[in-house]
Homo-oligomer: A and B are copies of this chain.
Amino acid sequence: MEFGTLVHMHGISLVGYQRGSAGGPSFQAINPATGAALEPAFRTAAPEDVERAAQLAAAAALDYGRRSGAEKGAFLRAIAANLETAAPALVERAASETALPLARLQGETARTCNQLRLFAELVENGSWVDARLDRAQERASGPRKPDLRSLLRPIGPVAVFGSSNFPLAFSVAGGDTASALAAGNPVVVKAHPAHPGTSELAGQAIISAARDCGLPEGVFSLLFDAGIDVGVALVQHPLIRAVGFTGSLAAGRRLMDLAAARPEPIPVFAEMSSVNPVFILPRALQSRGGAIATGLHASVTLGAGQFCTKPGLVMLDHGAEAFVAELAALMQQPAAFTLLTAGIARGYQTGARERAAHPAVRALTPPAAAGVTAPALFQTDAAGFLAHPGLAEEIFGPATLLVRHGGLSELLAVARSLRGHLTATVHGTEEDLREYADLLPILETRVGRLVLNGFPTGVEVTHAMVHGGPYPATSDGRSTSVGTQAILRFARPVCYQDWPAFALPPELQDGNPLGIERHLDGVLE
């Protein structure tokens, strides 16, 4: 199939290699910059679409789950190539649906394709399966020790929820889909209703790649819904074996609770809420205060503050007046942002207004005009912060809260009070780090990534990246949703006892035909 012929939208779910039902209620995307409804209308997936997508995925799992790394890699690369072909249409549509700048969306498309190719490399290499071989052994007493061989196998059909804030990299063909497909699992995506057109174009890229690679129908489906029924049905469907989600704490927790209440509970990997504390230590402040203020302002306002790694909490001692004045001036530079949806904009404006009115808080930026999204800088002190846990909650958008403290012991008390976050950042000289050595062990238990002398908003897609963290940053602090370790969410170990070579996966056969890294009796081969 020529993928080029598919780069237009039908507004109907993609259920395996068919279109879904066209009879349900419809909704349209809204251009957040203009308020205009965008064509075409999208039909809500019907219950039978959910059922068919799940059934097809379960049937496809037995075939696709046994495809080689080379075959899965070719599929992921074909998706990336199709996305590149579709990039002009994708970026244009995404810009209309999200109000994100074209350059950002072009960058995000490239990131999405690189991410798919990184997972392709990972499964082509094949060592990710953690192959372990323990040899049989006769024993003086008792029965012979059997031959045991284990590797990671796919978990089964995965439901993925597209996020609003990254319409490409964390959406239909984003990290959850890429890592679930790489592990050998069929994927059913529930499209985010704020960018259904972008979702359909990306979904077509995946479907076209699946056909071209000769993969079984059901390896991928895409379902539309402006409400929650389709998502709820997916998470409750007995054939769905895991869930990937990026979004709000309220929605993520809802999915966690649904999954935990199933007759057979399944894991939910939800990335939800993070305020990303920043600790600016005194010598760093003294030597680089201006650069830190500039960098912090850029990080808080990047993408209109709609990054899950936006620094929303900054710990500074009482002597940092010049820095605070400088940051406050930057935050008051004329800037009016268009947020992703009208709902997010209302939420931000309300959150900022309430925080400004909080008795323990002083606003360092003037109130924005009604209906305007402007950067906001707030300040409290350590006592106020510790007394009001609500101040540690996320305001999604370009706002941040300074917490002024009286030195090491107050700083450590604030650190100990933190819940789970994706990141924590420290600005410090070597001397600062030695003086504040007790800080790092505390932060390490609270976050997935510790940044030194930088800003948390750049999330590289690499092997060592951890984009995770204890609840409520994610549903499971043992996981990452970015980087190659994300594949481990969607795999489970299986052990073969005394099987002959012909019945074993090639990863476990004698002679190591795939040439992967393996451990033999615990020692690297």
Which chain A residues have a beta carbon within 8 Å of chain B's beta carbons?
61-62, 65-66, 121-122, 125, 127, 132-134, 143, 145-146, 148-150, 153, 155-156, 241, 256-257, 260-261, 264-267, 419-420, 430, 433, 440-442, 444-445, 447-454, 458, 460, 462-466, 468, 470-472, 475-480, 484-485, 491-500, 502-503, 517, 519, 521-522, 524
Contact = CB atoms under 8 A, between A and B. Distances in A.
A431 to B, nearest CB: 12
A463 B521 contact: yes
B484 A522 contact: yes
A133 B464 contact: yes
Contacts of A444: 153, 494
A1 to B, nearest CB: 28
Contacts of A419: 264
A243 to B, nearest CB: 13
Contacts of A478: 155, 267, 491-493
Given A148-B462, A460-B145, A449 B132 contact: no
Given A62-B441, A448-B493, A499-B452, A463 B134 contact: yes
26 contacts: A62-B442, A66-B441, A122-B522, A132-B463, A132-B464, A134-B460, A134-B462, A134-B464, A134-B465, A146-B460, A155-B477, A260-B265, A264-B471, A265-B471, A265-B475, A266-B471, A267-B476, A430-B502, A433-B502, A433-B503, A449-B495, A449-B497, A450-B496, A452-B499, A463-B521, A465-B495
Contacts of A260: 256-257, 260-261, 265
B498 A451 contact: yes
A445 B61 contact: yes
Given A146-B460, A471-B264, A450 B497 contact: yes
Q: How many copies does the complex hold?
A: 2
Contacts of A148: 460, 462, 464-465
A329 to B, nearest CB: 24
Given A153-B445, A265-B475, A452-B503, 18 more contacts: A62-B442, A132-B463, A134-B464, A146-B454, A146-B460, A155-B477, A264-B471, A267-B476, A267-B478, A430-B500, A433-B502, A447-B494, A450-B494, A451-B498, A452-B498, A452-B499, A477-B492, A478-B493
A450 B499 contact: yes
Q: Please name the 6 residue pairs, one residue from A and one from B, whose CB atoms are nearest each other, closest first.
A: A260-B260, A466-B495, A132-B464, A150-B464, A148-B464, A449-B495
A197 to B, nearest CB: 28
Contacts of A494: 444, 447-450, 466
Contacts of A463: 132, 134, 150, 519, 521-522
From A66, A122, A148, A453, name the one whose CB has the most chain B CB atoms within 10 angstroms.
A148
A107 to B, nearest CB: 8
Given A134-B460, A256-B265, A460-B134, A150 B466 contact: yes
Contacts of A502: 430, 433
A261 B496 CA distance: 36
Contacts of A420: 264
B498 A440 contact: no
B498 A480 contact: no
Contacts of A267: 476, 478
A462 B132 CA distance: 10
Contacts of A466: 150, 493-495
A141 to B, nearest CB: 9
Contacts of A517: 524
Contacts of A480: 493
Nearest to A471: B264
Contacts of A462: 134, 145, 148, 521-522
Contacts of A454: 146, 497-498
Nearest to A425: B497
A187 B360 CA distance: 39
From A61, A149, A433, A460, name the one whose CB has the most chain B CB atoms within 10 angstroms.
A460
Contact of A465 (B61, B150, B265, B441): B150
Nearest to A256: B265
B472 A264 contact: yes
A256 B256 CA distance: 12
Contacts of A464: 132-134, 148-150, 495
Contacts of A156: 445
